[in-house]
Structure 1
Amino acid sequence: MNPCVEPGCPGFYEDGWCNVCGSPEPSQVPETVTPTPAQAMAPTGADPGEETGNPASAAPNVATPAPGRSTRAVRAAVVRRQRAQAAQRRSRLGMGLTQVAPVPTGDPTRALMTDPVVPEERRVCPNCGAKVGQAAGEAGGRQQGFCPQCRAPYSFTPKLAPGDLVAGQYEVVGALAHGGLGWIYLARDKNVSDRWVVLKGLLNTGDADALAAAVAEQQFLAQVKHPLIVEIYNVVTHDGDAYTVMEYVGGTSLKQMLKERMARRGRYDAFPVDQALAFVLDSLPAFSHLHDLGLLYCDFKPDNLIQEGDAVKLIDLGGVRRQDDLESPIYGTVGYQAPEVAEVGPSVASDIWTIGRTLCVLTFEFRGYQSEYAASLPPVSEVPPFQEHDAFYRLVARCCAPDPNDRFLTVEELRLQMIGVLRQVVAAGATQAATLSAHSTTFEPPVATAETLSWWELPALSHDESDPQMDWVASLPAADPIALHAALLQAAEVTPEVLVARAHAGIRTGQQAWFDEAVRGMIEHDPWDWRASWLRGLWALSQAGEAPDSVRAAGQVAAGHFSAVRDALPGEVAPRLALALASELGGYSKAAELDYERVWRTDAGYVAPAAFGLYRVRRARDDEDGAIAALDSVPASSRAHPRARWLRAELLRQRGSLADLRESVHGVSRLTLDPRQRSSFNVTIYEQALRQVDEHGEQPGWRLGEVPVTHDGLRRALEKEYRYLADYTPDPLERAALIDRANAVRPWSWT
């Protein structure tokens, strides 16, 4: 594709139009004409006859309109096309895997509160936590006063009013919101081009914990610089109170978007799963940045993620704290905060819990998430998104595992799996095989090209580059597993990579003692290492015997192990393929077909083995059309394509109708076959066709390749193929039999 020539545009021309700015490719622009002086004075979109006094907007060359169409009509059509293309372009959210409409920033003043009052249900004593400022009879509750229980003072009155000039620089416009730690005001920075800023102060000046948290937030924000996190500009004081001056982020919070969706529908209207994943996925680098700095966010929820344009930004770092801080008060929100935080404090694992809970609130009406299900998830049977997208459920289930050790270890690990889950969710509604491949850091691409799939053809584990023995293990010759195992026993350090290689050697040689010892070592090193389950699944498949009962038992055992890997890595496709194979062998044909279909829709690199799996499962239940459709999906670029075409031709041949035979011959005609194989195929086809003609009569207008579907035509073709086949047959007796058959089938001749 050619790059766009428009100044500053990074796009490329596709089908004659730029895929970014929508401008036509120069070679695609209709023939231009030299304008008249009047036309040269016309602004863009104006008719030549219109008067204008703005020569700076002149358009010296315009597309020649068709007869009866003005230049304005031509340009209007171009604009419509540009807008249509812009609407079709994928947003940046969710890596472009799905479509999320951008949110305009709008006028900040429209977000101001008309009556800045703290709701009564949020008024609590800063000292004892008792409710304060509640209404008594018809009188409204007081915004400030003394706690009736402990007599501590409280105040929920905003300290700043419109027009106040804070620190001689920030002119207050009004209150935007009230958060857990303070009032949030909109202001203009009079020293920097009147830019919009946000001032954040204390909600209750009598709350010592809130004061400490505010100071801590200011310290944290000073070191946090990330494009996905709201930026702090300054820390100032005004009338004895401290205020954090922050970047103004336009757009809309996800919570507000949920409210607007509910207002339009009159009921809870959750985001589609793919959009919710896109929102959260794009916020995860901000979490990684905080964790790299030794900080924890602690209070992630839909309120604190804003969509601005086609990007998101994390706001309100009021609950941020250091990972090694054991003294400061902990701030969080009931329903989002991990259950162990109250006892052991926040951690990376508790941040991951909040991410999972946020995904739940975004995708379904999570009734009881702050009460009955405050520390658990509702049953899958009650949550349609969990039922529709099992990968999404497994992602959330691991984020919100009761044991923090069962959650994702890092946000980066979560991010990689979330990308894979998003791919699966987007692909769920597809009716065609995937056309794009996804890169995995965990598994190597599959190499299977045959219609059968064995344990050694499943995707191999990628090497762990963080393992100190990785390079040494990779350098060992792997052709002889016995010699490899002997070399691995001499490892200077027994690391997980060494143990994985030993286990593989045990599987390849059938040495259970080698295998068991290696897997025990892996579990002792890390009880949560899912690779132990993967290897156990491979071992079970490798031990399957020839008897059907042995194969079924091995598949059922392997399915249990591969299920554990799928749960640990919900975004990976390889465990799905392995589980589908194990389910197929174990007799769980419906489950196998579902997983083969998921793999087939999600990753182009897995289409061939998944298509062959669908072919086997469907053929086993006599779904011939489904089996043919699966084979048709193997792309021509795949090394497995010739084998798929051959199996398709064989399946059509076995069905045996003349239409099937004709299509079978057509499919095989484009394959490269050895002469004996092609002659054998043709002999079988012509014999079947001859039986059809004997039973149903000739079809002179039909052809099998070049052969007319008549007695005479088929007999002559069959005679020729018998003789060709005899030429390639080394056995004298077999060759003689073929010649006899050729003579017998030859049409009678009277000359």
Structure 2
Amino acid sequence: MRDPATAVQSDPAVPESQRYCPKCGEPVGRSRNGQPGRVEGFCPRDGARYSFRPKLRPGDLIDDRYEILGALAHGGLGWIYLARDRNISEAGSDRWVVLKGLINTGDPDAMAAAVTERRFLVEVDHPNIVKIHDFAQHPDPDTGENVGYIVMEYVGGRSLRDLALNNRGPDGSRIPLPLEQVLAYGIEVLPALGYLHDRGLLFCDFKPDNVIHAEEQLKLIDLGAVRRMGDDMSALYGTPGYQAPEDELAGIGPSIGSDLYTVGRSLAVLSFDFTGFSTRYARSLPAPADVPLLAAQESYYRLLRRATNTDPDRRFASAGEMAEQLTGVLREILSARDGIPRPAASGQFTPERRAFGVPADAAVAPLSGPEVAAALPLPLVDPADPAAGFLATVSGTDPASTLAALEAAQITSLEMTLRLVRARLEVGDLAGAWASLPSVEQVGNDWRLDWYAGLLSLCDPATWPAARDAFDKVYDALPGEPAAQLAVAAAGELTGDPAGAARLYERVWRVDHGFVSAAFGLARVRLAAGDRVGARAIYDEVPDSSSHHVAAQIAAVRAHLDQEPATLAEADLLDASTRLERLRLDKQRRESLAVEVFRTALSWVITGSNGTGGPVPVPVRPVPAQRTATARRVLGQLLSERDIRLGLERSYRAMASLEPDRTARHALVDLANSVRPRTVV
């Protein structure tokens, strides 16, 4: 820890740019006509007295206990002094403490804030919040009036503002803090705000200046603006650029939402060059097109947008909810960067119910809206809902029985209503499902309404754009949830936005390999764009522990086969052969795939190739029957027309031996005879 004595200012002063009248807020103490501004005086507008001079000097003894060493800093409500607690020793030495006084002792609002602090701040006890030990008084050296001072623990270290200002690039210029670091800061401090909120307290003035990083821990400091919820009498303090819109604070007052607003603004200031955050962008965020970080990190942009929404009802409802989404965004960013999945159980969604878009008889499967609707995860049931217990008893039954049980139940709740929507969708009653879906006017802003609206809209191609809009709203509300991104990706693919779908499919797949639909979706989009190598790479990432591993490998084989022979290279055929030989398939599936491989190889050989995918003339002379040991083989057959025909004939006959239908069996034998190489007697 930094030696506290070295943190004391040798010449404490409030910069002129930070001097404002405590009553009307107008600038005071500014330079004029070449003369420096006065540290003490009266506001020319309303005559209120102001003083920006520290009232305590080194050596002053407060309450016969706290010996002042000097001033550390100044904040929105007062000077902060370093002192030695002479009554308590820790490990044989005096305990360092901090005393915070008032910039203007004549300010009645500031004095009222000090009294409020004395009432409840000493009870605040959280590892990420500075500990308030005591409340002391000392006569003002000018007026003789007693002035209150908060006595709190000394926290060595640097503020997040200082860390950001001193973060330099290779050329020495200041650069924003790494986004991962900023998100980690937010995740660590939000529980401290949640602790205050749970006790009916609001921090009100969260900003990078008021968070200290010391000994691998963050602490909230400067609790001077903390107030009780519902307090409409105490003076309200905040910082322009960070605090919620003034009309909101003046109208409905400070709230949990306004506290979280300040966190969102602080994250933005720390993570990118937010020029004009207190002026031009005082109530908004810059567009992603103007900030590369926001353009590259869509989920982070959406998180900031929700945290700082001008409508308080659309912000995060709690510090815990915001921390959960921050964690999800951090997982996504880290996994996209290093390729290491970071799956985690969601607090909002079930896992995906089944994978959609899994190919059966081709390299890709066409996407179906109803298939997606039946596969996407579902919102978890709120355990506090009156119907939660009953709904747990109807899971696992067939859709018709479930619907009957729900309609017979005499329980009214939002969860019951949403379960009815789902049950009617599952029995095919789309009109009934839509009729059951409540409106925002009935239940308020709830992302689950948009989620179910999206599921219903997927069932009709005419409403696929509406599905995308609905899921996009869920993504706005839950920017750290892979399920929301998966739904937007699928709806985007259905509505003709393959690039947007690929971007989100990849983000989902990178963070959690449990979303196999994202892997097949990403491979499908890449194949449609002609990127077969990229598609096969994704198929190879489906782990062998997945029930869809074999389907992915079969799709990878077919990704070689469904292209024109002239675009094939020898390496494509060899890779398809190797993959098929490695798969443990039943004989019928194996021989069926072998037929596809041999047919493609035969077309390639007959067309002719130079091994790079380009066509060349077919040799006039037949290929010699004798081959060297180094000749390339496909499923054990040399890459010659005769050998490939023999392999194809063998596979057709093997399929015929497994075919129970006589007509189909004869057809396979005929195919075998038709491809058999011509022999000379």
TM-score (norm 1): 0.80
Which residue in 1 is equivalent to 2:74?
A: 178
Change over 3 Å in CA distance of 1:476–1:532 after alignment to 2: same
From the superposition, tell whether residues 737 and 394 of structure 1 become closer, same or farther in structure 2 (CA, over 3 Å): closer
Cα distance in 1 for partners of 2:666, 2:281 equals 80
Is 1:560 matched up with 2:469?
yes
Q: Which residue of 2 aligns with 1:284?
A: 190
Mean CA deviation greater in 335-344 or 226-235: 335-344
Amino acid at match of 1:721: S
* Letter paired with 1:564: K
Contact residue 335 and residue 371 of structure 1 kept, 8 A: yes
Contact 2:186 / 2:323 at 8 angstroms: preserved in 1? no
Contact 1:254 1:306 in 2 (8 A): yes
Unaligned 5+ runs, structure 2: 140-145, 360-364, 366-370, 609-622
Counting only pairs closer than 5 Å after superposition, residues 575-586 of structure 1 correspond to structure 2 as: 575-586=484-495
Residues 622-658 of structure 1: CA deviation (Å, up to 9, x unaligned): 3222222221221222111110001111222334544
Shift of 1:749: 7.4
SS of the aligned residue for 1:605 comes to coil
1:486 is the counterpart of 2:414: no
CA contact under 8 A between 2:186 and 2:326: conserved in structure 1?
no
- 2:452 aligns with 535
Cα shift readout 1:569-599 (whole Å, capped 9, x = no counterpart): 1111111111111111111111111111121
Greater shift after overlay, 358-367 or 391-400?
A: 358-367
Give the letter aligned to residue 74 of structure 2.
H
Following the alignment from structure 1 to structure 2, what is the Cα–Cα distance between the partners of residues 562 and 131? 48
Counting aligned pairs with the same residue, the percent is: 43
Distance 1:741 1:642 in 2: 28
Task: Confirm or deny that 1:142 pairs with 2:28.
Answer: no
Q: Distance in 1 between matches of 2:401 and 2:674?
A: 60
Give the whole-Å Cα distance in 2 for the aligned partners of 1:149 and 1:723: 101
1:154 alignment partner in structure 2:
50
Matching residue of 1:664: 576
Which of the numbers 654, 660, 666 marks the counterpart of 1:724? 654
Alpha-carbon distance in structure 1 between the residues aligned to 2:391 and 2:100: 55
After superposition, the Cα gap between the structure-2 partners of 1:219 and 1:737, relative to the gap in structure 1 and judged at 3 Å, is same
Aligned-residue Cα RMSD (Å) equals 2.5
Tell me the equivalent position of 1:210: 110
* CA offset digits 1:129-186 (Å, max 9, x no partner): 4544344544433333444454444332222222223222222221101112111111
Q: 1:213 to 1:363 in 2, by over 3 A?
A: same
**Are residue 373 (structure 1) and residue 281 (structure 2) matched?**
yes
CA distance in 1 between partners of 2:600 and 2:285 (Å)? 60
* Letter aligned with residue 299 of structure 1: D
Deviates more, 1:405-414 or 1:704-713: 704-713
Matched ranges for 1:59-70 at <5 A: none
Task: Specify the code of the residue in structure 1 equivalent to 2:337.
Answer: G
Matched to 2:38, the amino acid is R
Work out whether 1:318 is the aligned partner of 2:224: yes
In 2, Cα distance between equivalents of 1:155 and 1:264: 42
Shift of 1:479: 3.4
Q: Distance in 2 between matches of 1:378 and 1:744?
A: 68
**Structure 2: how far apart are the matches of 1:722 and 1:744?**
10
Please name the residue that 1:169 is paired with. Answer: 65
Structure 2 counterpart of 1:573, from 482, 488, 511: 482
What is the CA deviation profile of residues 522-552 of structure 1, one whole-angstrom value per residue up to 9, with x for unaligned ones?
5344220111111111111123xxxxxxx3x
- Aligned equivalents of 1:478 and 1:251: distance in 2? 55
Question: What's the counterpart of residue 500 of structure 2?
Answer: 591
Q: CA deviation at 1:612?
A: 0.3
User: Aligned with 1:448: secondary structure?
Assistant: coil
1:188–1:196 contact (8 Å) kept in structure 2: yes
Q: Structure 1: any 5+ residue segments left out of the alignment?
A: 1-104, 544-550
3-state DSSP of counterpart to 1:429: helix
CA pair 666-296 structure 1, distance change in 2 beyond 3 A: same
Output one character per residue of 1:270-307: Cα deviation in whole Å (capped at 9) or x when no partner: 22222211111210000100000000000011100111
The structural deviation recorded for 1:440 is 0.4
SS of alignment partner, residue 613 of structure 1: helix
Change (3 A) 1:749 1:489: closer
* The one of 203, 214, 218 aligned to 1:297: 203
Change (3 A) 1:225 1:726: same
How far did residue 498 of structure 1 move?
0.4
- Output the CA distance in 2 between the equivalents of 1:238 and 1:321: 24
Q: Judging changes above 3 Å, is the alpha-carbon distance between structure 1 residues 125 and 724 closer, same or farther for their aligned structure 2 residues?
A: closer
In the superposition, relative to structure 1, how do residues 348 and 691 fare at CA in structure 2: closer, same or farther (>3 Å)?
A: closer
Within a 5 Å distance, the mapping from 1:72-91 to structure 2 comes to none
The CA deviation at 1:246 is 0.6
Partners of 1:330 and 1:612 lie apart in 2 by 54
Aligned residues: 635
CA contact (8 A) 1:496 1:525 kept: no
**1:457 — aligned with what?**
375
Report the alpha carbon displacement of residue 347 of structure 1 after superposing the two structures with TM.
Answer: 0.7
Match of 1:172, SS?
strand
Aligned pair partner of 2:264 in 356, 372, 379:
356
The answer on whether the counterparts of 1:554 and 1:586 sit within 8 Å (CA) in structure 2 is: no
Question: Contact 2:2/2:156 (CA < 8 Å) preserved in 1?
Answer: yes
Aligned position for 1:60: none
| Partners of 1:226 and 1:743 in 2: CA distance | 82
Deviation at 1:371, TM superposition (A): 2.3
Q: Which amino acid aligns with 1:661?
A: L
What aligned pairs does 1:429-444 form with structure 2 within 5 A after superposition?
A: 429-430=337-338, 432=339, 434-444=340-350
Tell me how far 1:447 sits from its aligned partner.
4.0
What residue number does 1:519 align with? 437
1:615 paired with 2:523, answer: yes
